Chains A and B, each alone.
Chain A
Amino acid sequence: MCSLEKRGNLFILTLTGQNVEHRLNPEVLSSIISALSRAKAESTRGSALVTVSHGKFFCNGFDLDWVNATGSKQEAQQRFDYSLDCLTQLVQAFISLPMPTVAAVNGHAAAAGVVIPLCHDYVVMRRDRGVLYVNDLEMGLKIPELYMAFFRAKTSGWALRDLVLRGLKIKGEELLKMGIMDAVYDGEEGVINAGMKMADDLARRKWDGEVYAEIRKGLYSEFCGMLGIASKAIGTPKL
C-alpha cells in the first residue's frame, strides 16, 4: 500500500500501491489518507513531506483489475466512481496538509496516477525515465469537472491543452518547459535525493503549518469551492 517514515523533520511517504505499477484502489487510497493523517497529527513547524516510489512506475492509475472484477458493467462503473471518490478525498488530504510537500517522480505516472504528484507543492522528476500521461481522451473518457478545475489550478494556456487534450506521454524536460515540473534529475537515487533536499530546504523556513495549508488551499480555490471546502482566515501575524 504505502509506508510513512520520519527522518528528522521529514515525513517520507513511499507509494507501493497494488502491484508493481503502484495502482490505486479504495484500500490503497485509504491507507495513504491514513498515513497523511498521521503526518498531520505529528507535524510541527519545520515539518515537510516528500512522496517517493521505486521502480519503473510512480503510479499508473486506478486498479482496473479490481474495477472490472465484477459481474456487470454497472458494478464496474460503480467501483470506478468509488475509486474516484477516494482519490478526491486523498487530494483534499494533500491540499490541507499543514506542511510543504514534494513529490519525487521516479517513473511513469498515468491517468489517475498523474493527480498524485500534481497535488504536491513541488514536483521533481527523472530526466532519463518516466512520462506523465493523462489518457482520458485516449480512453474515450471525459475528465470530471472537478479534475479539470484541479488541472486548471496547476497550469494554463497551451500547457494545459497539451496536458489533457493531446494524448501526450510527456517527459520531464517538456514538463519543465510547461511549468508543471520544478526540476529534473538523472536516476532514481538522483531524483529521490533531490526531492528530499528540496523538502529539507522548505522545512527550514519553519512556516506555520496551518497558515501554509490555508494559503495553499487558496491556490486551488476553484477546486476547493466545488467541494465546499471552507477556508479559514488567520489574522494574527508573527511580526
Chain B
Amino acid sequence: MCTLEKRGNLFILTFTGEDQHRFNPNVIGSLLSLLSQVKAEATRGSALITQAQGKFFSNGFDLDWAQAAGSEQGAAERLHHMVDLFKPVIAALLSLPMPTVAAITGHAAAGGFALALSHDYLIMRKDRGVLYMSEVDIALTIPDYFNALFREKIGDATVRRDFLLRGLKMKGDEAEKRGVVEAAYGGEAEVRQASLRLAENLGKRKWHGEVYAEIRKGLYPQLSAILGLTHKAYNIARL
C-alpha cells in the first residue's frame, strides 16, 4: 500500500508493490493518516518526497472497486465517494508545512496525476511513463478540485486543453519542455537521486514551514477555496 520513512530531514512516502497503486477508500485513509503524521513531525528543514515502486506512480481511483457495487448507480456512488474522500489528501498536500517533490518513475494517470501535480516539484522519467488524464477517454467528468488544480498549476492553456480535453499521454521530455514537470531524467535511479537531491536542497533552506504553506496556498487561491483552506494572517518578521 503506502509506507512512510524518515531519512534525516526527508519524509519519504512510497506506494509499495508492482500494482497500479489505485486509490480506494483504504488507501486514501492510509495516505491521509501518513500525511497527518508528516505534518505533526515537521520541523524547519523538512521536505517530502512521494514516490512509487513498479511501472506505475498511480493510475487513479480504483474503478474495479467502484464497479464491484454491482449496479451502474452503485458504481457511480462509489466513485463519487472516493472523489470526496480524496479531496482532503490534496488539501493536506497543499497545506503541508514543507517543500514537496513527486518522484514520478512510472505512469501517473487521472487521480494519480492529480496527486503528483499537488506537489511543489515534479520529477519524471524521460524514457518511461506518461502523464495522462484519462477521464475524457473513459467518459468521466473531472471533479471541480481537479479542474482548479490544473487551472492554477499549469499556466499554459494549451497544455491544460491537451490534458483534459484531448486525453494526451505526455512523456517526460515533452512534460519538461512544456513546463509541466521540473525536470526529466533518463532512468528510474536518476529520477530517485534527482528527487532526493532536490528535496535535500530545498530542505537546506530551512524555511519556516507555516509561512511556506501560506505562500503556497496563495499561489492557488481558487484551489484553496474549493478545498476549504483558509489563509492565516501569519507574520514572523525577521526584519
Contacts and interface: CB of A to CB of B under 8 A. Distances in A.
A157 B239 contact: no
Contact of B238 (A77, A140, A155, A161): A140
A164 B236 contact: no
Nearest to B210: A142
Contacts of B68: none
Interface residues of B, number: 28
B208 interface: yes
Contacts of B238: 139-141
Contacts of B156: 157
A219 interface: no
A202 interface: no
B217 to A, nearest CB: 9
Contacts of B17: none
Interface of A: 64, 67-68, 76-77, 80, 136-143, 145, 148-149, 152, 155-161, 164-165, 167
Of A137, A140, A142, A159, most buried by chain B (CB within 10 Å of CB) is: A142
10 shortest interchain CB distances as A-B pairs: A157-B155, A156-B155, A148-B218, A140-B236, A142-B214, A140-B208, A140-B238, A142-B234, A158-B179, A142-B211
B225 interface: no
B125 to A, nearest CB: 19
Dominant SS among interface residues on chain B: loop
B231 interface: yes
Contacts of A140: 208, 211, 236-238
A218 to B, nearest CB: 18
Of B212, B219, B221, B232, most buried by chain A (CB within 10 Å of CB) is: B219
B215 interface: yes
Contacts of B152: 156-157
B7 interface: no
Interface in B141-157: 152-156
Contacts of B120: 161, 165
Contact of B239 (A67, A148, A164): A67
Contacts of A143: 215, 218
12 contacts: A64-B239, A80-B239, A137-B208, A137-B212, A137-B215, A139-B237, A140-B208, A157-B152, A160-B155, A160-B219, A164-B215, A165-B216
